Structure formats: C-alpha cells, structure tokens
Structure 1
Amino acid sequence: NEDRALAIARGMVGGKVRNCRTLLRRNHPGEIQAALGELSRVGDLIDSVRSAETLLALEGAAAKTYFAHFGGLLKGEDEGGTVRFDFAARNRRPPADPVNALLSFLYAILSKDATVTLQSVGFDPMLGFLHRPRYGRPSLALDLMEEFRPLVVDSAVLSLINNREVVSSDFVRRGGAVALTGEGRKKVLAAYERRMATDVTHPIFGYTISYRRVLEVQARLLSRHVMGEIPTYPPFCT
C-alpha cells in the first residue's frame, strides 16, 4: 500500500530531521536560528507530504542545511598532525576527508546493526518504505536507521574528534580518498559501542534503555504497526 508506506517513511524522515535539529540546537556554539527555523519548516512540510519524490527532496534539503552547520560542532584540528578535522560538506564514495570517512564508516556499521535487528523481529531488511528495493541494499535497514543517524553516529563522531580520541595517524590517504587505519577503526568502533550502550529515556514508554535497545524497540513498534496493532509508526525523537 503506497499511502501506508509513505506514512511510515514520513515518520522516519521527520524523526531524523527533528533529531538533527536537536543536535544542532544543543551543541552548536554559534548563532544558527535561521538553520533551526529551516529545519522546523521542513519538518512541518514532511508531516503533510503526498509523494515519495517530494519527501526525498525535503529530506535532501534538511540534510543540506544540517551538514552546512555540522562543522561548527567540531573543535578544530589535530595539532601538529597532517589532517584537519574540519567539515565543509557531506561527501562519500569515496569520503574525501577524515570527518566524512568517520561518518561513512559508522553509517555502514549502523546499517548492519539495523539489518540484524530487523531480521530478529521477522522483517526482510531488503524491502523498505522510503528506500526502494535495490539488489544488495538493505532498504528497510536504511529506513530504520534514519532517526538514529544524528543520535548515534553523528554524536559518536563529535565525541571522537572533540575529545581527541582520533588523530592524524588514524587515517590514510589513497588517491583522493581518506580511510581509517586498523588502529583507527578500533578506536571508532569502541566509541560507537559506547554510544550504543548509552542510556536514554524512551519518550513513549518512559523507561530508560540503551540506544541499542531503542533500535530493537523501534523495530518492534514498526512490526506492530505493519501488523495493524497500532495506528501509526512513532519515530524515536529526543
């Protein structure tokens, strides 16, 4: 059912946009009221969007605004090192700088975790609502992880850089691409697991659980909605 799929996708993208806005509002040291207002505006539009194409366009507009200010959350560079931990824009395939390398690496890890979680609940992770099926792509995992991108991955990247947990020697340049070294991957995975183990209060149930457990709870809420047990899918927002 296209209308039902769109409603689920609206919830997931709307949750992501709200969580991106919250991350900027709580952590950005500068004057970003215009950006926060734009994210609120896009979030309101998402709630009433009538086509998947328009939803994807709005998601792209929100991501552009968010990442235009993401660099302002970072605390500079590795002093005496060979790389700068600054950020101008999101790039991938391949990532061209250390920050994008961190984001891409951890988004891939989150996608794998979402895939395993969905399978444990009984979903086929290849069949999505927002991300259309494509050979080899876990479309539903990409859907589910949307609201967790800023909460888990982006927050872990900020911690890694701002606390100087990663340094220049944790990255290697290969042509125009930047990748993590083996030692760098160990540090990044440790930070990711720390973040996934962080406790947070679930806004629907009111109890405190880890982000990893929240991922499972959201998958089960999605299952309950698909089975007709609850009227809508409620995204996880902080």
Structure 2
Amino acid sequence: MKKDMFIFNNGRLCRKDNTLMFEGEEGKKYIPVNNVESIYIFGEVDVNKNFLEFVCSNKITIHFFNYYEYYVGTFYPREYLNSGYVILKQSEAYLNYEKRVIIAKTFIDGAIKNILQVLKYYERRNSNLEGEIEEITNLLDTLQLQSTIETIMAIEGNVRQVYYKSFNKILDDEDFTFTSRTKRPPKDRINSLISFGNSMLYTLVLSQLYQTQLDPRIGYLHSTNDRRFSLNLDVAEIFKPIIVDRTIFSVINKKIITKKDFNKDLGSIILSDEGRMKFIKEFNEKLETTIKYPNFPNRVSYKRLIRLEAYKLQKFITEDEQYLPFIAKW
C-alpha cells in the first residue's frame, strides 16, 4: 500500500534518476516514488519544474501548508481517471436541486450518526453524555424533513454546537478547555487541533478522490463556486467525528500532546512542529486501522473507506444505486 510523505524541515525536494530526494540540514533522503501516494509540505521547500513533471507522471498529489497550519493549496496532477460521462452526471446531479438535497442530506446524516457513535463510545466510559446524545438524536430526527441546503447546514451547525459542549466531558483536562469554535485564527488549543485535523482530512479526501472518476470541483453540500475543490469537504463531513475527533481525544487523553506542544503567535494558538508530527503519527495510525466491511473478504482500512465512499457516491450519481453513508460500529 502506498504511503503519504510529510515534510516539516526546510530544504529541497527534487527528482534523482527515477526516485524522489529530499535534501535538508540532515543531509539527503531518498524515497522510492512507487511508495508515495501524496506529499504534505509544512516547511520551506524548494521544487522545480522537472520535479513537478515527475510527480505528475507518477500521479502524486502535493499539499502545501503554511506556518499557521493553514492549507495553502494542492498540486493536483493531470486527471487520469476522469470520465466525461461521470462529470456530466455529477453536473446533472448538482443542477437537479432535489437530487442535490438528497446527496447533501446523506452526508450530514452520516456525519450526525458518526457523532452519535463517538458520544456513545465515551458514554460507555462514564463520560455522562446522555443529555447530548438525546439532544442530537432529536435534531437527527428533523434532518429528513429538510428540503433546502441551507436548512440542512443549519441542522448540522446546531448538532455541532451540542457536540462541542461534550468535549470538556470527554477530555476532562484543564489545559484543553473548549469554549466555542474559532477558526482563523484558532483561539485555543482545542480549536488549533480541530483546524489542523480537519485540514489534514480535507487533503486526504482530495487525494482519494483523485484515484476515482469523480471531479472534486463539483460538490453538493458545499456549493460549487469559485472554491477550487468542494466535494472533498462534503465527503470529509462523514469522517470528521471518527477520524479527526477520535484522534484529538486520543492524543490528549493519552498525554501524547500537551500544552508544551503549542506556540502562541499574533493571537493565534498553533501546534509546534513536534506537536504536528505527534498528531500526524496518531492520525495515520487511525487511518491504517482496519475493520470488517460488508461484502468484502478482507478487512478494510479507514483510509480505504474514504475511497469506497467515493465509489458509492459515484454509483448513486451514475446508476441511481442507493447511497448509504458509512456509519462506524464499535
């Protein structure tokens, strides 16, 4: 299975014969190109046209982040699987508002049910979350009554407000008290972890979509507009609770990340390089965890689940096959 490559140091990334080479302060490191699916760059790294042509021919996506953990952009190689037919059907589904609402509702249905699974998991560990579970269950019951994208997103926003209130019960750590969601900039450590984790998931989903016939520019919950990509944001909603949030709870409760792993800069709280590396290690371990999957003979990793989700969506768009989102079962 191909791996993702993460670069935190400053240096130069280039092609060396038929492989990749990173040259930094610690010397040269060679990476077999056949082992790489995506590259995540956090440091100040120089690349050239020859390198970009090489990774393009090897179908490797490159994601860039700046010092403040913000996603900057993606080098998205020329699509090699895109189908004109699939793109037309994607566009038709977007322009058919009723069908677009069905897809958007499915994403949020999956997101809310996975949030409930997370809460029930911690409730069984004496986190006293009955009230939050009941409130979110009631909101879920109203989801199917919604007929517009705006009201669907409003339900999701209300669920998130209740869900975030549960974080302090799950974490029970005075160094990681959560008050409200703040994004740019994140005002506390929890917000910093959420923003960083979500960015990692958005880019991961984008890399998985690249391996399908779907066009990531055509989203349904998040409007298709001047934003470069939107379908990855849609699909990520399903997996945020079970990948990003579970990773956050794990790194804090296990004391893998502490308050020492954060820096304060211009009113923003951001992870240090060491903190990012710790988070990514735990994040990747979660992605490599395997589970049983219906009608599959072998166990499937969470990373693979994301691509399977894209295939299910494509089946719905092109063949009207019922689309049911992935719901975790623990």
TM-score (norm 1): 0.91
Stretches of structure 1 that go unaligned for 5 or more consecutive residues are 78-83
Alignment of 1:103 with 2:187, yes or no, is no
Give 2:318's match in structure 1, choosing from 217, 227, 230: 227
Q: Which moved more, 1:220-229 or 1:186-195?
A: 220-229
Look up the match of 2:101.
6
Q: Secondary structure at the match of 1:91?
A: coil
Of Structure 1 and Structure 2, the greater helix share is in 1
Specify the code of the residue in structure 2 equivalent to 1:4.
Answer: K
Task: Note if contact 1:170-1:184 (Cα within 8 Å) is conserved in structure 2.
Answer: yes
Could you tell me how far apart the structure 2 residues matched to 1:169 and 1:35 are? Answer: 31
Task: Note if contact 1:203-1:237 (Cα within 8 Å) is conserved in structure 2.
Answer: no
Look up the match of 1:143.
234
RMSD: 1.6
Q: CA deviation at 1:136?
A: 3.5
Task: Note if contact 2:127-2:170 (Cα within 8 Å) is conserved in structure 1.
Answer: no
Bigger relative contact order, structure 1 or 2 (CA pairs below 8 A, ≥6 apart) = 1
What per-residue deviation string (whole Å, max 9, x for no partner) do you get for residues 54-103 of structure 1? 111111111111111122111314xxxxxx11212222111111111111
Could you tell me how far apart the structure 2 residues matched to 1:206 and 1:3 are? Answer: 36
Could you tell me how far apart the structure 1 residues matched to 2:163 and 2:198 are? Answer: 16
Could you tell me how far apart the structure 1 residues matched to 2:297 and 2:185 are? Answer: 41
Specify the code of the residue in structure 1 equivalent to 2:211.
Answer: S
Look up the match of 1:190.
281
Q: CA deviation at 1:203?
A: 5.1
Q: 1:89 to 1:203 in 2, by over 3 A?
A: farther
Look up the match of 2:151.
54
Task: Note if contact 1:203-1:236 (Cα within 8 Å) is conserved in structure 2.
Answer: no
Task: Note if contact 1:95-1:104 (Cα within 8 Å) is conserved in structure 2.
Answer: yes
Q: Count residues with an aligned counterpart.
A: 231
Q: Which moved more, 1:185-194 or 1:37-46?
A: 37-46
Give 2:165's match in structure 1, choosing from 57, 68, 75: 68
State how 1:69-218 maps to structure 2 within 5 Å: 69-77=166-174, 84-202=175-293, 208-218=299-309
Higher Cα Rg, which structure: 2
Of Structure 1 and Structure 2, the greater strand share is in 2
Could you tell me how far apart the structure 1 residues matched to 2:282 and 2:127 are? Answer: 26
Could you tell me how far apart the structure 2 residues matched to 1:210 and 1:110 are? Answer: 15
Q: 1:162 to 1:137 in 2, by over 3 A?
A: farther
Task: Note if contact 1:74-1:85 (Cα within 8 Å) is conserved in structure 2.
Answer: yes
Q: 1:157 to 1:204 in 2, by over 3 A?
A: farther
Stretches of structure 2 that go unaligned for 5 or more consecutive residues are 1-95
Q: CA deviation at 1:33?
A: 2.1
Task: Note if contact 2:176-2:189 (Cα within 8 Å) is conserved in structure 1.
Answer: yes
Q: CA deviation at 1:154?
A: 0.2
Task: Note if contact 1:75-1:161 (Cα within 8 Å) is conserved in structure 2.
Answer: no
Q: 1:122 to 1:229 in 2, by over 3 A?
A: same
Specify the code of the residue in structure 1 equivalent to 2:307.
Answer: E
Q: 1:58 to 1:90 in 2, by over 3 A?
A: same
